[in-house]
A and B are shown apart, each in its own frame.
Chain A
């Protein structure tokens, strides 16, 4: 009886965390809708047709890789374009290692759970002290996936001009949402603030000499200050989001 109560309570907790994740992912989901709209419009203008960009968005759900492939393919050829798109997402390998301790089950089951990884979900799912709430992370990915796919579809159908998107300030949406998530992360510890300042500085310097994807990968090296200063962050993200 006690065991079944515990199991029921655990299911409710997981369900609550998932719902919480969906709620917290709604904002980034709205941002991905706008970005997906721009991607759909660009793919349509590049003559990719209707089905391929939509299938790509459904299967990959990766703005950085999809935009890179779209941009490099016409001039650089397939091999260079695929290599660039893969390299720009190399950060997922680092994030996947970070997430592994919080996953459950064998290798394959963990690998399947890790497919829910998205940039904003990684931040939303972070509970502090290097632990992640996987249900919350997965929940946050749902509105982002829906926003990205529906945005692509609307972009393909409506094909709004880049000038119109620019005039309405659509380019503000994505960095603004990342700023919101960063503000939540920075409340956790002084080390988080130091890592953010160092990460921003590394990315800013690397942008002069390499692609944004590589600059982003370089920014994650700022987290290495955690290896030098052993003290862990003291507050959990749940304190900010009851």
Chain B
């Protein structure tokens, strides 16, 4: 029962957080300075997501083989590989490394 309640509490909080901007602001528009901030939000968020995904809590998850795989995927993308193929290259590089080193 506690488990179900916890799941529904997190789900409801998630919905409320996504709705909070429209509920608080309605049809009011943001000032230009705030729009400038928002235009940079995706870049800052994506950079943060990459770092937190690779580092984990207290940097305890940092794994150079994973970093190398992500770098390989980025390189493949920079060389105009399609997104899925680039990620596949990254996975293959990491998997190969792990296979060779175990």
Chain A residues near B (Cβ < 8 Å): 26-27, 30-31, 48, 52, 55-56, 59-60, 62, 65-66, 69, 73, 78, 81-82, 85-86, 89-101, 103, 106-107, 110-115, 117, 119, 122-123, 126, 128-130, 166-183, 185-186, 188, 191-193, 195-200, 202-204, 207-208, 211-213, 215-216, 218-227, 229-233
Contacts and interface: CB of A to CB of B under 8 A. Distances in A.
Given A30-B87, A114-B18, A223-B38, 20 more contacts: A78-B6, A81-B6, A82-B9, A86-B9, A89-B17, A93-B20, A126-B42, A169-B98, A172-B87, A175-B54, A185-B43, A186-B43, A188-B43, A192-B39, A192-B43, A196-B46, A208-B58, A212-B55, A219-B47, A227-B37
B21 to A, nearest CB: 3
DSSP majority for the A interface? helix
Interface of B: 2-7, 9-11, 13-15, 17-27, 29-30, 32-59, 63, 65-66, 69-70, 73-74, 77-78, 83-84, 86-87, 90-95, 98-99
Nearest to B20: A93
22 contacts: A52-B7, A60-B10, A62-B10, A65-B14, A82-B10, A93-B21, A96-B20, A101-B29, A110-B22, A126-B39, A172-B73, A176-B87, A183-B77, A191-B39, A196-B44, A199-B46, A199-B47, A212-B57, A213-B52, A216-B52, A220-B45, A222-B43
Contact of B51 (A48, A99, A203): A203
A180 B45 contact: no
A92 B17 CA distance: 6
Q: Chain B interface mostly helix, strand, loop or mixed?
A: helix
Contact of A232 (B4, B24, B27, B36): B36
A107 B22 CA distance: 5
B26 A107 contact: yes
Given A93-B17, A183-B74, A123 B46 contact: yes
Nearest to B97: A169
Contacts of B53: 174-175, 178
Contact of B95 (A90, A168, A182, A227): A168
B58 A195 contact: no
B40 A65 contact: no
Contacts of A193: 43
Q: Shortest 3 CB-CB distances between A and B: which pairs?
A: A219-B48, A110-B22, A96-B21
A166 B102 CA distance: 12
Contacts of A100: 21-22, 25, 30
A224 to B, nearest CB: 6
A73 B6 contact: yes
A180 B86 contact: yes
Contact of B93 (A169, A191, A195): A169
